[in-house]
A and B are shown apart, each in its own frame.
Chain A
């Protein structure tokens, strides 16, 4: 079985472009050009140079000695948290801003939940001198004030999404509506491996630098390119897609996804999409999503704003459905505990999203000689208030 996208934009039965006709010219323009543009040597050169000199890549692959001792296995952390702006999100926004420039676009829109993708987008727009509008749910604007301020400082306009539940799903709706209203000059930088084809594939390819580096870094450290397992947290699934990408077709490498179980999978307050979701259409793509029996999309919950998305990228739906990926979910409590543990064992405060991946050790035991690479997708600065409240620090 292949785990790569097919020529029609599907991973197995998931993916495609279920979009209103108003979006067709934009999405089609992108579909026809994205692979060509990404293959241009001048594009590659500019992308690589910015990743190196501006983002600070390669990000280290760090052997977590004390964590490994505790769980009696060999744990490596892929340090995406050390990237400029503090998470893996910037890999994608750098790629897409270069794409937008080559497509002749002079206005950028984006959606954001916690604000990490919004900040990463505002950052590359400032870098390139391009106008930037970020849609953010009204409720998220209130609870993520520092990131709103960062975006404003970077020159972006932050527009509140006032519809529906006023969170990430609605911010995405508003960004799509903006694109419908501005079909010629605007590029939409989607932040996760979701949306209509070619977005899931394009975002995955921009993020695939993560697994590309893991391979040569592991070769240096372990004498072999392939770990036994790669582990990542999944909301929409962009850091996971990048972490898995170069291992997808090598079945010897176990692929592990950790979703947010919130207060518990069946508590009614969860974001464990693979378990709770059913096949449907969200934001232009066919994938697993949380919905009512009548097909209305429901609101997920997680303590981590970056994981509370009611769908999951189509690649991940395929990995789940085909059995290629092992899917687990971590509750708020398990994630917070794992985050604190990493801080105290390794001196690294992770983003709460990332803490979910670290909670894998609550759910699965590894052999002493297993090499387990965990994507440390983001740093925890933005989550300090949550940690403070949770642990009464």
Chain B
């Protein structure tokens, strides 16, 4: 069974951490992954940087720009991950925009993911309709879970469709925003979380956007299976480097 699906069966709320590959330094990728696993994180999203990250706020934009300046490419990322499965067993997801993947070749990209031990992909600008018609069989051939986003504005009908096409979890964007927003969790989110919870979807939901600490993690996972932290973690490594990642993770989990 795919490591993501296995992890989703665990009887606990899951913490997933996003980081930008190639940031702060070009060779940090494997160290960050190992340190995150050691710190007790449940899942990792490896951000493949893109020049024009439409869905991201300033923090992830800046880390992506720096990572590209540092020389990150799809090819290099796969090289850095070549032996990662010798040292970690945590589910690994690549999150990136569609164009770099398209240029690499979608099938070649998926094949490489399988080879290095990537379990899933999140591609915000690959719409579910196109995935379903064109790419689903390729992703499945290489054992990859593909994760789609939903937002408070997504209709019930579309959520049902996304649920039917998904084979891992659904990425619940907490509010109408780009990443790193500080909107917090108000009534809109509570209603939205209730609505989704009542839909009894086949795929568990993991909440992302606007989660930065224990308080927001706890709120987000009241009904959902887990939560994802990205910008807050990038800010932490910007300030503190990558050796003491546990200092970021532990307060969230305890």
Contact = CB atoms under 8 A, between A and B. Distances in A.
Interface of A: 16-22, 24-25, 163-164, 169-170, 173, 176-177, 180-184, 278-284, 291, 293-298
B126 interface: yes
A294 to B, nearest CB: 4
Contacts of A24: 127, 153-154, 158
B102 A20 contact: no
Interface stretch (B143-151, B198-206, B235-243): B143-151
Contact of A22 (B65, B100, B101, B151): B151
Nearest to B128: A21
Contacts of A294: 73-75, 100, 103-104
Most buried by B among A281, A282, A284, A297: A281
A297 B125 contact: no
B137 interface: no
B176 interface: yes
Nearest to B101: A295
A315 B153 CA distance: 30
B127 A297 contact: no
A297 B99 contact: yes
Interface of B: 50-55, 57-58, 61-62, 65, 68, 73-75, 97-104, 124-128, 130, 148-151, 153-155, 158, 173, 176-178, 181
Given A20-B54, A294-B104, 19 more contacts: A17-B127, A18-B130, A19-B127, A20-B55, A20-B125, A21-B148, A21-B154, A22-B149, A25-B153, A177-B55, A180-B178, A181-B177, A280-B102, A281-B99, A294-B75, A294-B100, A296-B100, A297-B99, A298-B51
A295 B55 contact: no
A164 B176 contact: no
A184 B151 CA distance: 13
A176 B178 CA distance: 10
Contact of A173 (B52, B124, B128): B52
Contacts of B100: 294-296
Contacts of B148: 21
B50 A21 contact: no
Q: Which 5 A-B pairs have the closest CB atoms?
A: A295-B103, A295-B100, A21-B149, A296-B51, A20-B124
Contacts of B125: 18-20, 281, 284
B102 A295 contact: yes
B52 A177 contact: no
A295 B124 CA distance: 16
Contacts of B126: 18
Contact of B178 (A25, A181, A184): A181
A25 to B, nearest CB: 4
Contacts of A295: 50, 74, 99-104
Nearest to B53: A173
Contacts of B103: 278, 280, 291, 293-295
A21 B149 CA distance: 6
Nearest to A22: B151
B52 A282 contact: yes
A388 B82 CA distance: 57
Contacts of B124: 20-21
A13 to B, nearest CB: 12
B65 A21 contact: no
Contacts of A19: 54, 125, 127
B150 A21 contact: yes
B196 to A, nearest CB: 14
B127 A164 contact: no
Nearest to B51: A296
B57 to A, nearest CB: 7
A279 B102 CA distance: 9
Contacts of B50: 295-296
B209 to A, nearest CB: 9
A291 B100 CA distance: 10
A24 to B, nearest CB: 7
30 contacts: A17-B127, A18-B125, A18-B130, A19-B54, A20-B124, A21-B124, A21-B150, A21-B151, A22-B153, A22-B177, A22-B178, A25-B154, A25-B155, A163-B58, A164-B51, A164-B65, A173-B52, A173-B53, A176-B54, A181-B178, A182-B176, A183-B151, A184-B176, A281-B125, A282-B99, A283-B52, A291-B103, A294-B73, A295-B74, A296-B50
B54 A173 contact: yes
Contacts of A170: 52
A300 to B, nearest CB: 13
A278 to B, nearest CB: 7
Given A163-B65, A281-B98, A293-B103, A21 B173 contact: yes
Contact of B55 (A22, A280, A297): A22
Contacts of B61: 163-164
A297 B176 CA distance: 26
A27 B128 CA distance: 14
Given A180-B55, A294-B73, A296-B68, A20 B149 contact: yes
A291 B54 contact: no
A279 B127 CA distance: 18
